[in-house]
Amino acid sequence: MPSFLYKSDPVRGRQWAEVFQRQAAALDFRIWPDIGDPADVHYLAAWEPPPDIATRFPNLKLLFSSGAGVDQFNFAALPPELPIVRMVEPGIIRGMVEYVTHAVLELHRDRPAYRRQQAEGLWRPLPVRTAGERRVGVLGLGSLGQAVLQALHGLGFDCAGWSRSRHTVPGVSCFAGADELSAFLARSEILVCLLPLTEATRGLLDATLFQHLPRGAALVQVGRGAQLVIADLLTALDSGQLSEAMLDVTDPEPLPPGHALWLHPRVQITPHIASMTQPHSAAEVVLDNLRRFEAGEPLIGLVDRMRGY
Ligand code: NDP
Ligand code: OXD
């Protein structure tokens, strides 16, 4: 009997199992390390696949990332023809929309400044601007970036997005490619990073990029820690080029005790919780992809190994 092997958090795995039992009883759903006969494993969902995946599972047909990112995969260790699918599911999208909307509203309405004022017992109103007067830019127009922009546009923000290829998103000014990055940054008072980690985006959030932002801009980093050059962030915060940073991802995770970012008055850190794959909706999407695969239809979230995402 062909099996679907799940190698990630086992508690969530049991929730996946319920959906599979209801909808795909012909598939033997197994949770790592209970792999059964490795030759039966046709499908694997993992955050980190086992290093010997290429030899261990000779009949593997599809590899799913249990998250939206695939930067944790070592592509070189995977069979070259094995299709890789990242997680595109409504639950993870909703979570990211909540997190980023909250972060942008906090920054827009000066909540970090008011917290600092409160700590000093200061009652001092700051100028209030409407959402329409606040320009927000999102790096990445993928499944998460576009959903976040839709929500921010709905709140009335003046929105822009940047991606590798050209996109059209209703109500959003879209920029594409390296040539248009500086124009996009020049109008981003609140910059949100929702890019995948690839060789092209590693270290992208650096001093040069910060210099292109309006003075006093704020950063919301929800992509991957290695995209941010921490020393450049600290310099930009200390000089006033950046006013605030909200970081959900860091490199390393967690930051070591005593790291300068932990106690920086203009930095807020959350422990990589901006969003998470939701087991029930994720299992539904994976089952739909299995059906698509068997029918020879395009897969949702198929990774392009050359692009790295
Ligand atoms: P997608 O693959 O759907 O979208 C990626 C977007 O980034 C695309 O618009 C793509 O452009 C753009 N992009 C990639 N490389 C470049 C580049 N070099 N220059 C310009 N644009 C580029 O990913 P998702 O939206 O699903 O997820 C994005 C990332 O969010 C994940 O990879 C992960 O790192 C992070 N994430 C973080 C979470 C957290 O809790 N902090 C939770 C989930 C995800 P194009 O459209 O042209 O291909
Ligand atoms: C993901 C994440 O990629 O949680 O899904 O970061």
**pLDDT tens-digit readout, 287-297:** 999 999 999 99
The answer as to whether 305 is a domain residue is no
pLDDT in tens, 164-208: 999 999 999 999 999 999 999 999 999 999 999 999 999 999 999
70 close to ligand 2 (CB < 6 Angstrom): no
- In angstroms, the CA 94 to CA 87 distance is 13
Q: Which ligand ends up closest to the CA of 226?
A: 1
Closest CA to 38 of 25, 49, 22: 49
Same domain, 68 and 217: no
The answer as to whether 244 is a domain residue is yes
The answer as to whether 196 is a domain residue is yes
Can you give the pLDDT at residue 53? Answer: 95
Same domain, 157 and 290: no
Can you give the pLDDT at residue 148? Answer: 98
Can you give the pLDDT at residue 229? Answer: 99
- In angstroms, the CA 306 to CA 108 distance is 38
Same domain, 158 and 206: yes
Same domain, 84 and 166: no
Same domain, 97 and 80: no
The three-class DSSP label of residue 290 is: helix
- Note the Cα 284 to chain centre separation in Å: 20
Mean residue pLDDT of the chain comes to 98
In terms of residue numbers, what domain contains 47? 3-89+277-295
The answer as to whether 301 is a domain residue is no
The answer as to whether 106 is a domain residue is yes
The answer as to whether 206 is a domain residue is yes
Same domain, 226 and 284: no
Atom of ligand 1 at shortest range from CA of 70: 32
Same domain, 132 and 80: no
Question: Is 272 marked active-site?
Answer: yes
CATH of the domain at 263: 3.40.50.720
H helices of 33-170, in order, are 53-56, 90-108, 111-119, 143-154
Number of domains in the chain: 2
The three-class DSSP label of residue 245 is: strand
The answer as to whether 78 is a domain residue is yes
Can you give the pLDDT at residue 33? Answer: 97
pLDDT tier at 151, thresholds 50, 70, 90: very high
Question: Is 108 marked active-site?
Answer: no
Nearest CA to ligand 1 atom 7: 140
Same domain, 13 and 96: no
144 close to ligand 1 (CB < 6 Angstrom): yes
Q: Which of 259, 272, 292, 305 is catalytic?
A: 272
Same domain, 82 and 104: no
pLDDT tier at 271, thresholds 50, 70, 90: very high
The answer as to whether 300 is a domain residue is no
pLDDT tier at 285, thresholds 50, 70, 90: very high
